[in-house]
Amino acid sequence: MDPQPTGAVRKGTKRKDPPTSSADNKRIALPSSKPRPQKRARFADARKIEAQPEDAALKDGELDLQSFMNARAFEIEALESSMQKSTASKSRRAFQSVPREMRRRTASHNAKRVPKRLRGKAQREMASDNTPTVTQKRKIRSTRSRLRAETSKKLDLLIKRKKMQMKKEAEEKGEKMDLDKPVPITTRKPRPKIRRNELNDPPAPKSKFKKRQMNKTWLPTHIWHAKRATMTEPMKPKWGFAIPLTPTQKSYRPTHKAIHQSGGVIAWDMSYMSTIGLYGHKTAVEATLREASQLDETEWKSKGELYSKGCQPAFTWLCYKDKTREICPVTVIFNPKPPPPRRKNRRPKVEELREYGKREVLLRIHPSAFKEAWDWLRRLTKMRSGVYIEDLRYEIGSIEVMGSNATEALRATLQPYWTLKRDRESDVDVYKDIDIALGPENHPGYPLFGFSIIDPRLRFPQKKIVNKLEPHRIQERNLAMIRWTKTAPETSYLLFNRGGRLNAVEHLPSQKSVNKRHGASRPGKFPELNSHDPPIPIILHIQRSPSRWVLMAPFRLVEPIWHCLTKCPLSTGGDVRFGGLQEQQQTTFEQCVGWFPADFPTTKAGQELEVEERERQTKSWERKSKSKRTEWKSVDLGRGRKGELGRGLACDWEFLFGLPRLEDMQIEREKNKEKEAAPTNIAPAVPMDGAGPDKDTDIPMGGVGEQKTTTSQVAPPPPSQPQDSRPSLKNVVRLSKAQWETLFLNFRRNIDTPVPDLALFSVKITFMGSGKASRNARIYRLPQKPAVEPPATKTQVPATATGSGGGSVTGSSLPADLREQWLSHTPAAKRAAEKAQDALLEEQQRQLLQQRKKQKQRNRHDHKKDILSKSSESTRTSTMLGPTPEQQQQSDLEARQRRVASSLFQPSQPLTPLVPPEPKDRETMSGGHPFVPGKEDLIGFITSGNFNLRLGKPSAVGHISARKVKEDLVKHGKLGEVATCIVRDAGEGVGWLARWEVI
């Protein structure tokens, strides 16, 4: 066995052997002056009992009473000491009882470093062995103590002011007041102020959470979500809120199953959605809404009465006066106003009529566009008298619920509140008769409920609700609900009343008192309502695309509703799941509709989000090594084309329309401000050739390794035109589906419809076969057919050249039949090819049957000839010379076999092949994919793309240029070919055939 090297680790041990001496370096290993103590020495010492010799109890050989007692006392003390040592030898100190990952060995002398349950033991151990402790010379003031000191100071100031006021009142009355007498001070929680036409401050957070909300606002359910979901970064909030992004558990497929399969429910806390209150006279409010939104006169005449009476909400877009530049989608809810009471022999008073003429409207919008919408509405309200707006972002919160059992979960959680039957709202009866078996996508119309509910904690845990109605009764109830959606409510909604909202918030019982009431009630029974339980006002309605229930309630009362809703038992045995921002995008994408603001690049909010996404993807791209990141200059598009079109990490709308980049325009504005601020006494030099300062400069259109476009693509502004008025991405508008239908109908009628150059259509993309698409993917139209050129003369250069593969290549280096190549991959072309192949197989079978029939006839004829030849042989004379009969028979057999073989393997008529031969000039990418078209056929980009679990195949949402779509429609005239497109992921050279549809 070879000796182990010095310092080697022995098998079964954790420590290395001590280094030994070496004869080479002539060192002598000295014995250690302090030998290592035994490992279990303290245990042996603890078990050892001291004893005295036997003669210790004797004196001069005789028994001495005092010596005997002293000896027995020594033995008892030794036994007790040994027992204590043995017990203490296996015990651990307080800091050793803590798990290894929680130990703080360097601070084991500090009792505050261990959990509370061990601090008493740690303090006794430190006192018993005189462990030195560090005491602070000055007490560090915490945030809580500082707040207490400030509150005490404010109360002292209030007491002094009240004493001075009471003294002044006593002097006026001629009385004397004792200043030493204590003065009672009663304080109340201040109510948040609501200012007209001004933004309001967020609610004051609790003192211990104040530092965490310096630059953002928490949702009412923030602490609940922070334990179960991934939140936004602390220093990078989303739209001013800390928003849950996605649950920590896997949730992509469970979210899909919860929504699209029976028995699932998913809920979102949408309290970050902004709410604006619009108040004023009926005429002025309606005029402001029509001017600030896309509610035109036609729609207002047909449904305006239903909207203004509060029968159903209105879903439209906020936009500017030109009705083309959109701001954001908005939900409009009117507060129903019952007419003034008409009594006998009495007319309504003027004040009652004036109050009836006022209207209250809630506008629910996305927080990303709140500032822009607020400024626009404030500008419109200032132009009219008697109209004003209020910021209700922190007054009203909301919850959205989706799924087939969403109605059941809400019906079990939200119990209507009323003390007397006459106080019950008109919507309660219809709400209690709602069909819980129908999800929000199956409910007819747009139902809108406004009533008050009981504190859901008083009815927790909820009981399962079972639909006991017969099928014909359910149908009658659904028809009754459709009629009810067109009937004006009899009472106003309490959620519009600020006093009702604050009363519910201020008088809400604490969780401790609710628990006491549950404990005092009988088993299986809920606590009874008392006069102190406030009604909680809510508004419940259905919103489409995708279909979901929207619950609006006071901002601070969302938390108790949320806790009870997420624990609601379902009749199917499932649970109520929760979702974040990513789940909201997923559900919207599976419905093949756009999610605001990511899928709306024509809005300011969408453009800001696009810039943020570009920066995020660029940073992620730069963090990767060069071997793992895409090099945009090296992207192979086929036929010698290298480089990505535009910026690969962005939906490059500027490249599509030839516009300057948003980032460059911002930098240019800052430079112009600096130039205006700086004194300039010298005029700028003008080139001799008359070129402007931007003649030869390039506007960068790409990031790292991307193509650039020169300013020649964009017409320079006239000298008198300011630079900010140049065409930019802010001038791009989105055309609706109705405008697309009008364009197509007018084309059928040969009516020319003008289309803006800077306009987009929102489309959903479905692949015709296999394919994939992700964000920033490129959308191409089918390549245009090359123009037919006259034949070249002897002195002219031919219009086409021969490629490397012998194919005809146009001036753009692409095959001339590229359009036909792509059209051959369409399902219609494939079906036609399959039909042709089937017909070809039938023709081949028919030809084969005919050949076999002919062959049989030949075989019969040969057989007859053989019989005749044999009969003639008998008459043959013996003197004739020739082959013997055996040789003749052998030769005839061989000839017959040759004829059969030639007929089988060499048919007389050549058969048509199964697949038509490909043209010699055709060249494709690897895998048989045709080449992607050129940049002149680029029509748009994909903003959202993934595998769609609802469809079972990939899908995408994107935007395409309206001008190029119209050009293609005029040139080809077939909607099937116009709606056919090619999708190519950024950084790849292979395209996939798809079809777009305007949404």
CA pair distance 229, 303, nearest whole angstrom: 42
The residue with tokens 């009203």 is 396
Question: Would you say 464 and 427 are in contact if contact means Cβ atoms under 8 Å apart?
Answer: no
With a cut of 60, say whether residue 187 has pLDDT above it.
yes
Question: Would you say 892 and 866 are in contact if contact means Cβ atoms under 8 Å apart?
Answer: yes
Would you state the pLDDT for residue 701? 38
CB-CB neighbours of 962 under 10 Å = 24
pLDDT tier, 882 (very low <50, low <70, confident <90, very high otherwise): low
Least confident of 190-204, 511-525, 800-814: 800-814
The winner for highest mean pLDDT among 334-338, 622-626, 658-662, 665-669 is: 622-626
Would you state the pLDDT for residue 886? 62
pLDDT tier, 708 (very low <50, low <70, confident <90, very high otherwise): very low
Task: Give the residue from 735, 760, 772 showing the smallest Cα distance to 956.
Answer: 772
For residue 153, give the H/E element and its range: helix 143-173
The DSSP code for 791 is P
With a cut of 70, say whether residue 485 has pLDDT above it.
yes
**Residue 691 vs residue 177, higher pLDDT:** 177
What b/e readout covers 637-663, taking b as 16+ CB neighbours within 10 angstroms? bbbebebbbbbbbbbbbbbbbbbbbbe
Q: Which residues pair with 942 in a beta bridge?
A: 958
What 3-state DSSP class applies to 538?
A: strand
**Residue 101 vs residue 957, higher pLDDT:** 957
With a cut of 50, say whether residue 986 has pLDDT above it.
yes
Q: Of how many residues is the chain composed?
A: 999
Least confident of 214-228, 364-378, 425-439, 700-714: 700-714
With a cut of 50, say whether residue 923 has pLDDT above it.
yes
- Average pLDDT of span 451-474: 84
Say how many Å lie between the first and final Cα of the chain, rounded: 82
Q: Which residues pair with 543 in a beta bridge?
A: 548
Q: Detail the DSSP E strand segments found in 883-937.
A: none
For residue 516, give the H/E element and its range: helix 511-520
Question: Would you say 292 and 380 are in contact if contact means Cβ atoms under 8 Å apart?
Answer: yes
pLDDT tier, 103 (very low <50, low <70, confident <90, very high otherwise): low
Dihedral angle over CA of 223, 227, 228, 231, nearest 10 = 70
Least confident of 249-258, 412-421, 536-545, 970-979: 412-421
**Residue 291 vs residue 879, higher pLDDT:** 291
Structure tokens, 642: 């290298």
Would you state the pLDDT for residue 635? 93
With a cut of 50, say whether residue 408 has pLDDT above it.
yes
Structure tokens, 772: 């994939």
pLDDT digits (tens, 9 = 90+) for 358-400: 899 999 999 999 999 999 999 999 999 889 999 999 999 999 9
**Residue 313 vs residue 888, higher pLDDT:** 313
Q: Detail the DSSP E strand segments found in 629-674.
A: 636-638, 641-642
Dihedral angle over CA of 979, 985, 988, 990, nearest 10 = -30
Q: Considering Cα of 620, then 623, then 626, then 632, what sign does the dihedral take? A: positive
Helix, strand, coil shares of the chain, percent, nearest 5, are 40, 15, 45
Quote the percentage of the chain above a pLDDT of 90. 43
Would you state the pLDDT for residue 178? 72
pLDDT tier, 699 (very low <50, low <70, confident <90, very high otherwise): very low
- Average pLDDT of span 720-732: 67
Would you state the pLDDT for residue 385? 87
Would you state the pLDDT for residue 906? 55
pLDDT digits (tens, 9 = 90+) for 280-331: 999 999 999 999 999 888 888 888 889 998 999 999 999 998 888 999 999 9
- Average pLDDT of span 6-19: 46
pLDDT tier, 270 (very low <50, low <70, confident <90, very high otherwise): very high
pLDDT digits (tens, 9 = 90+) for 214-223: 899 999 999 9
Least confident of 329-343, 500-514, 695-709, 893-907: 695-709
pLDDT tier, 678 (very low <50, low <70, confident <90, very high otherwise): low
Pairing of strands 938-948, 953-961: antiparallel
Question: Would you say 4 and 10 are in contact if contact means Cβ atoms under 8 Å apart?
Answer: yes
CA pair distance 649, 658, nearest whole angstrom: 18
**Residue 689 vs residue 96, higher pLDDT:** 96
The winner for highest mean pLDDT among 185-189, 784-788, 853-857 is: 853-857
The DSSP code for 781 is E
CA pair distance 980, 957, nearest whole angstrom: 15
- Average pLDDT of span 430-456: 90
- Average pLDDT of span 99-120: 72
Would you state the pLDDT for residue 524? 86
The DSSP code for 416 is B
Q: Detail the DSSP E strand segments found in 7-133.
A: 58-59, 62-63
Average pLDDT, the chain: 81
For residue 957, give the H/E element and its range: strand 953-961
Would you state the pLDDT for residue 712? 34
**Residue 7 vs residue 345, higher pLDDT:** 345
CA pair distance 357, 288, nearest whole angstrom: 15
Would you state the pLDDT for residue 486? 86
Would you state the pLDDT for residue 703? 43
Least confident of 175-189, 257-271, 511-525: 175-189
CA pair distance 727, 716, nearest whole angstrom: 10
Q: Helices 827-873 & 885-905, crossing angle to 10 degrees?
A: 170
CA pair distance 568, 414, nearest whole angstrom: 11
- Average pLDDT of span 625-636: 92
CA pair distance 131, 120, nearest whole angstrom: 15
With a cut of 80, say whether residue 176 has pLDDT above it.
no
Q: Helices 558-566 & 406-413, crossing angle to 10 degrees?
A: 120
pLDDT tier, 421 (very low <50, low <70, confident <90, very high otherwise): low
Would you state the pLDDT for residue 105? 55
CA pair distance 931, 915, nearest whole angstrom: 21
Would you state the pLDDT for residue 878? 43
CB-CB neighbours of 423 under 10 Å = 11
Question: Would you say 794 and 786 are in contact if contact means Cβ atoms under 8 Å apart?
Answer: no
**Residue 885 vs residue 409, higher pLDDT:** 409
Question: Would you say 173 and 165 are in contact if contact means Cβ atoms under 8 Å apart?
Answer: no
One-letter amino acid identity for 752?
D
Give CA angle at 857 (854, 858), nearest 5°.
90
Least confident of 546-555, 765-774, 891-900: 891-900
Least confident of 38-52, 375-389, 405-419, 503-517: 38-52
Would you state the pLDDT for residue 924? 67
The DSSP code for 603 is S
What 3-state DSSP class applies to 960?
A: strand
The DSSP code for 457 is G
**Residue 180 vs residue 816, higher pLDDT:** 816
Structure tokens, 821: 């190549």
- Average pLDDT of span 153-167: 86
One-letter amino acid identity for 336?
P
Would you state the pLDDT for residue 581? 97
Task: Give the residue from 924, 219, 999 showing the smallest Cα distance to 556.
Answer: 219
pLDDT tier, 139 (very low <50, low <70, confident <90, very high otherwise): low
For the chain, how big is the Rg over CA atoms in Å?
44
Question: 513-518: long-range contacts (C-beta < 8 A, 24 or more apart)?
Answer: 514/455, 514/457, 514/458, 517/458
The winner for highest mean pLDDT among 35-44, 571-580, 802-811, 936-945 is: 936-945
Would you state the pLDDT for residue 609? 95
Would you state the pLDDT for residue 660? 86
With a cut of 90, say whether residue 726 has pLDDT above it.
no
With a cut of 80, say whether residue 672 has pLDDT above it.
no
pLDDT tier, 350 (very low <50, low <70, confident <90, very high otherwise): low
Task: Give the residue from 668, 842, 656, 831 showing the smallest Cα distance to 758.
Answer: 656
Give CA angle at 964 (963, 968), nearest 5°.
120
Q: Within 13 Å of residue 869, how many CA atoms lie on the same side as its CB?
A: 13
DSSP string, 254-285: HHHHHHHSTT-EEEEE-TTSEEEEEEEEHHHH
CA pair distance 789, 792, nearest whole angstrom: 8
Least confident of 24-38, 214-228, 262-276, 639-653: 24-38
pLDDT tier, 53 (very low <50, low <70, confident <90, very high otherwise): confident
Task: Give the residue from 983, 937, 921 showing the smallest Cα distance to 957.
Answer: 983
**Residue 130 vs residue 362, higher pLDDT:** 362
- Average pLDDT of span 116-144: 76
Q: Which residues pair with 123 in a beta bridge?
A: none
